């Protein structure tokens, strides 16, 4: 980093910068350095003293006289502060100096603020005619401040300032009088922070000393002479390593509050990422926000940008992904200028995170492009604050490793990575989707939550009343009056989406799938065992997707050593779980064409070439299908019946019961069968839902009640979880012939 004139070293070797105190304890002092607390006419004025040798009186536009506490006599500290005899005493003086100087700056700034206000009021009084309302108001404030300066509290602070000022001056003299060997400093590309206990990192080999020796032996060409396969293998092995390391069941912070700090300095205009670093980062951040809220639905995110030595909030902490994505899209036009400021960015985030409850995780993720940071104060003091507040800071570097970031992440328990390319950038960013481990000192609290149900209303309903959503009260672009929505069970405020914190009563409103998606992080799937494909005995197809195995390696479950076939059930139910009336659908003769198309698509589409899905049904279900539609096309039809001796006309196979049908599929039909679907009736659904192994239920929820005489067994939340989404299954609310319905997918929970 090129040092600015304000940061140039003083003649005594100390670093002077506006708003900072930097004391050099390793360079010998200069005889001609200015006396303690003397102002230097060549320096620009500063609200806070720049160094011990530059602490100057603050008599600016308003001469406060003796009352200001600035012109105080020195105390005798010769007994209190003995001479330095060894390096340990030097370090002790340094720590004492840092601590007292922070207190001195705080007190002096408070006194100066009062004096400056008096100076401003004095000028204001001269500008108003006597007796005018403005003059009287200014005079009242002037009198109040003068009385404040006469108060005992002000006098105590003034005396404390005098004591600290004299003490700091004597410490400075002790340092100058001590003899130490000269230490040379390199000024061109170093950050001039004082030496700190945090710098004493554990001994480890430098990257250029090991780990990269004989790197050419790692890369091997494939048959076509390309290195792509080797690079992909390296990335794959790194992913496998993370999976293996994360399978342990650890305590995680499920309710997260994360601030993402994005560097918008001039270095973000570099084009090593296409089209440039800023655009690439913002596009990846959009995907990150979507995935973050999908995996952490009860968490919140905020975005901060930093450039030109300042930090600015792009979005506040919020659980609304649309708000963040809209802000990221607008940020593409940001002009990248100046240098970033880690100090200001972290301070901005701390202001919000420090008020978060103890049972939530406090995190900051910094995407840093620049190799420099321009900070107004000692960042190591801020790192101590972050550590005390239990804020976890991680950094993704776009250029190279920076030492201050290494210290920052090490002290706060975060991660520090530097990207290789855009794909590696995305991989590192997505690593922060998973909740971090919670510390043993984190609080455990019971959180009150509300589970509102979505209410659908129509204009024809007499009791329906249009209302505003609380989610859009602060937005001019939000929808106006509307029917239906999510209503808080405590105060009945309406919201259009979940999760959200009720603005009226403060209750956290979520749905069961939101908690399920957060809960699954606590019990990650055990890492599968990798083995060569040649060792596989039997059919070479994937037990999950039923596709042919073509890779050189396969992965086997550690629990069952295989992935058993998933059994699927598909059904349409009324609100009371009714599925039939007099051998037909409850809404007959009304037809729901889109619902029927969904049934046909799910049961017909095979994932393995040359194979067909199997549909299993009871005898009554078979005969409820119109004769012209029997058998169901492009599917293997199996009918269950203990009465029939042969398969009904059109049916492909007959089985006595459900278990017999599954044996038939695994033996005679093993080469033909792909997915297995149960399509009715009620007793067969019950047998499917209670059978062992993996099961999925594709349920169409009809939101209108019809008279029924056949019912689906209850879907127990202890045995099945509602999936947030499934490929090929629409998420939107459907409507046909004045009947509303939606599609849901449930998956069995391993016991």
Q: Which residues are catalytic?
A: 585, 595
Phi (first) and psi of residue 580, to 5 degrees: -165, 160
Q: What is the distance, to the nearest Å, from the Cα of residue 60 to the centroid of all Cα atoms in its chain? A: 47
Neighbours of 751 (CB within 10 A): 6
Residue 300 bridge partners (DSSP):
257
Burial class (CB in 10 A: 0-12, 13-18, 19+), 607: middle
Neighbours of 317 (CB within 10 A): 18
Locate 475 and state its tokens: 């937005």
Q: Of all helices (H) and strands (E), which one includes residue 232?
A: helix 228-245
CA pseudo-torsion sign 480, 484, 485, 487: positive
Q: What is the distance, to the nearest Å, from the Cα of residue 205 to the centroid of all Cα atoms in its chain? A: 32
Locate 541 and state its tokens: 């197809």
Distances (CA, A) of 516 to 37, 429, 567, 690, 723: 63, 23, 22, 21, 8
Q: What is the distance, to the nearest Å, from the Cα of residue 157 to the centroid of all Cα atoms in its chain? A: 43
State the maximum Cα–Cα separation within the chain, in Å, rounded to a whole number.
114
- Give the burial string for 217-237 (b: 16+ CB within 10 Å, else e): eeeeeeeeeeeeeeeeeeeee
The contacts of residue 333 (CB under 8 Å, 6+ apart) are: none
Contact 680, 571 (CB under 8 A): yes
Distance CA 209, CA 571 (A): 64
Q: How far apart are the first and last CA of the chain?
A: 58
Distance CA 13, CA 29 (A): 7
Distances (CA, A) of 604 to 148, 596, 636: 84, 12, 10
CB-side neighbour CA atoms (13 Å) of 495: 24
Distance CA 326, CA 306 (A): 19
Q: What is the distance, to the nearest Å, from the Cα of residue 97 to the centroid of all Cα atoms in its chain? A: 38
- Give the burial string for 439-460 (b: 16+ CB within 10 Å, else e): eeeeeeeeeeebebeeebeeee
């Amino acid at each position: 980093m090129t040092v600015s004139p304000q940061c140039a070293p003083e003649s005594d070797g100390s670093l002077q910068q506006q708003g900072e105190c930097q004391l050099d304890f390793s360079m010998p002092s200069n005889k001609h350095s200015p006396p303690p607390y003397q102002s230097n006419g060549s320096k620009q004025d500063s609200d806070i003293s720049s160094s011990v040798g530059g602490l100057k009186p603050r008599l600016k536009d308003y001469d406060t006289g003796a009352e200001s506490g600035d012109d105080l006599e020195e105390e005798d500290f010769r007994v209190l502060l003995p001479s330095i005899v060894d390096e340990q005493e030097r370090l002790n003086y340094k720590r004492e100096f840092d601590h007292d100087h922070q207190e001195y700056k705080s007190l002096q700034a408070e006194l100066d603020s009062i004096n400056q206000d008096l100076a401003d009021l004095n000028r204001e009084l001269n500008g108003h005619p006597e007796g005018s309302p403005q003059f009287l108001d200014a005079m009242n404030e002037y009198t109040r401040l003068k009385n404040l300066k006469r108060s005992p509290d002000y006098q105590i602070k003034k005396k404390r300032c005098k004591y600290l000022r004299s003490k700091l001056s004597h410490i400075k003299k002790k340092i100058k009088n001590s003899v130490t060997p000269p230490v040379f400093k390199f000024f061109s590309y170093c950050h001039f922070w004082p030496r700190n206990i945090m710098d004493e990192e554990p001994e480890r080999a430098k990257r250029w000393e090991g780990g990269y020796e004989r790197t050419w032996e790692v890369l091997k060409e494939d048959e076509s002479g390309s290195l792509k396969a080797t690079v992909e293998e390296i990335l794959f092995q790194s992913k496998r390593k993370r999976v293996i390391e994360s399978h342990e069941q650890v305590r995680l912070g499920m309710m997260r509050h994360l601030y993402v700090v994005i560097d918008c300095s001039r270095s973000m205009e570099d084009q090593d990422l296409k089209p440039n670093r800023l655009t690439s980062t913002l596009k990846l951040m959009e995907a990150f926000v979507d995935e973050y809220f999908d995996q952490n639905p009860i968490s919140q995110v905020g975005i901060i940008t930093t450039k030109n030595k300042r930090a600015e909030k792009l979005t506040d902490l919020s659980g609304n992904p649309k708000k963040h994505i809209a802000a990221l899209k607008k940020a593409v036009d940001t002009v990248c200028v100046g240098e970033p400021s880690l100090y200001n960015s972290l301070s901005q985030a701390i202001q919000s995170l420090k008020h978060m409850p103890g049972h939530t995780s406090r995190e900051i993720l910094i995407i840093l492009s620049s190799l420099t940071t321009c900070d107004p104060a000692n960042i190591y003091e801020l790192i101590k604050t972050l550590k005390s507040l239990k804020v976890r800071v991680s950094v993704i570097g776009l250029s190279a490793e920076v030492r201050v970031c290494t210290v920052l992440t090490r002290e706060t328990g975060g991660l520090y990575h530097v990207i290789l390319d855009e794909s590696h950038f995305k991989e590192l960013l997505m690593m922060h989707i998973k909740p971090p481990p919670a510390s043993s000192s984190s609080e455990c609290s019971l959180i009150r939550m509300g589970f509102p149900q979505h209410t659908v209303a129509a204009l024809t309903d007499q009791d329906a009343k249009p209302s505003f959503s609380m989610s859009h009260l602060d937005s001019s672009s939000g929808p106006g009056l509307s029917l239906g929505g999510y209503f808080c069970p405590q105060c009945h405020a309406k919201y259009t989406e979940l999760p959200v914190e009720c603005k009226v009563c403060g209750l956290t409103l979520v749905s069961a799938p939101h908690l399920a998606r957060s809960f699954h992080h606590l019990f990650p799937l055990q890492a599968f065992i990798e083995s060569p494909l040649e060792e596989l005995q039997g059919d070479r197809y994937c037990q999950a997707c039923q596709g042919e195995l073509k890779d050189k390696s396969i992965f086997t479950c550690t629990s069952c050593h295989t992935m058993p076939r998933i059994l699927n059930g598909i059904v349409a139910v009324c609100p009371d779980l009714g599925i039939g009336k007099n051998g037909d659908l409850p809404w007959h003769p009304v037809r729901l064409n889109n619902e029927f198309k969904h049934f046909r698509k799910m049961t017909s589409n095979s994932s393995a070439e040359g194979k067909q899905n199997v549909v299993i049904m009871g005898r009554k279900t078979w005969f409820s299908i119109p004769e012209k539609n029997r058998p169901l096309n492009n599917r293997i039809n199996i009918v269950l019946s203990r009465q029939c001796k042969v398969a009904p006309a059109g049916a492909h196979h007959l089985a006595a019961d459900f278990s017999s049908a599954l044996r038939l599929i695994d033996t005679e039909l093993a080469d033909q069968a792909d997915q297995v679907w149960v399509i009715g009736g009620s007793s067969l659904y019950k047998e499917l839902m209670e059978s062992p192994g993996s099961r999925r239920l594709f349920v169409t929820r009809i939101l209108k009640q019809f008279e029924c005489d056949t019912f689906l067994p209850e879907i127990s939340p202890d045995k099945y979880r509602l999936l947030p989404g499934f490929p090929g299954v629409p998420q939107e609310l459907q409507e046909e012939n004045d009947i509303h319905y939606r599609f849901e997918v449930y998956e069995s929970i391993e016991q």
